[in-house]
Amino acid sequence: MHNSQVNTSLPLNLSSEIDEGKSAEFWRLGDVVVRRIGFGAKRLAGPGRDGADVQERAVALLRRAIELGVNHLDTAAFYPSHGPEGQTHFESLDWANEVIRRALAPYPEELVIATKVGPMKDRLARPDELRGLVEAELQALGLDVLDVVYLRLHGVKSIAEHFGALAELQAKGMIRQLGVSNVRVEQLQEAREIAPVVAVQNRYSVGFGRVNDEILGVCGELGIAFVPFFALTAESREAGGVPDSDAVQAIADRHGATAAQVRLAWTLSRGNHVLAIPGTSSQQHLEENLQAGDLILSPDDLAVLDAITD
């Protein structure tokens, strides 16, 4: 975390763990090191309406995540304050960011906050609008510089103009590292010709892997982090309340694990460069998700999971 104040009451000390031979649990995003299991803020609010109780629970959950060693938070201005979990709301911009600031600022020194810009209500922002979005993220989070900013795309062929605009903001010191999201291999290559890319965030999960297998492999070859969204649940289950597949549940039962832990373990098995950012509004689920790195799936388990189609 690179801001003018550091919170010593929420300490994170990762260097000792890396020195103790646990480096496989970590990945380097440019000049910062993160745990491979982080936390995504998209489902932070839960299914209820916004209110003081929702915010207090979210604040407590974020602080608990830091206590458990999470040092990679993934957020966005358009993450919702209410409604079905995972649903995007442009009517409550910056809710998640402001809750993160309330819970954790001044931030622990080793905390990395990644955010994304691009989507606006009903359209993609123009390149000349990206600076305003970045400035709004800085203000909402209470930061001097953003650690990682993804350019989140939809419906465009060339990303050069948009990514070039973010690269200019990086050169001005507003952004430390750049990523791209929802992209194809050729778009990643286009971005890398403009500025270094430290991470790609695309949809990837049990049952929805094949379409992004190529870019996952390319990221591994290039030393770029691959950060799946919808890794914890298939898109059809993002709102919660829908049972997991029998095959996933059977593997979970055999290991004494949860279905979510199985899905996360499968995600992490795709390569050391793959980072998980499971989101939840439940402290119990948070703690379960963070234990997924200890679950070792057998070759037979992996073969079954590879064959699933959601």
Does residue 5 sit within a domain?
no
Does residue 118 belong to any structural domain of this protein? yes
pLDDT of residue 52: 72
pTM of the model: 0.89
Is 8 inside a domain boundary? no
46-103 pLDDT, tens digit each: 776 556 788 899 999 999 999 999 999 999 988 766 555 445 554 557 889 999 999 9
The pLDDT, as a whole number, for residue 43 is 87
For the domain that residue 289 is a member of, what is the CATH number?
3.20.20.100
Tally of domains in the chain:
1
Residue 9 in domain: no
N residues, the chain: 310
Residue 133 belongs to a domain: yes
Q: Using one digit for the tens of pLDDT, what is the confidence trace for 14-35?
A: 555 544 445 689 999 999 999 9
Catalytic positions are: 79
Residue 235 in any domain: the answer is: yes
Residue 44 lies in a domain: yes
pLDDT digits (tens, 9 = 90+) for 151-163: 999 888 999 999 9
Domain that holds residue 109: 15-306
Q: What is the pLDDT of residue 121?
A: 80
Q: Is residue 3 in a domain?
A: no
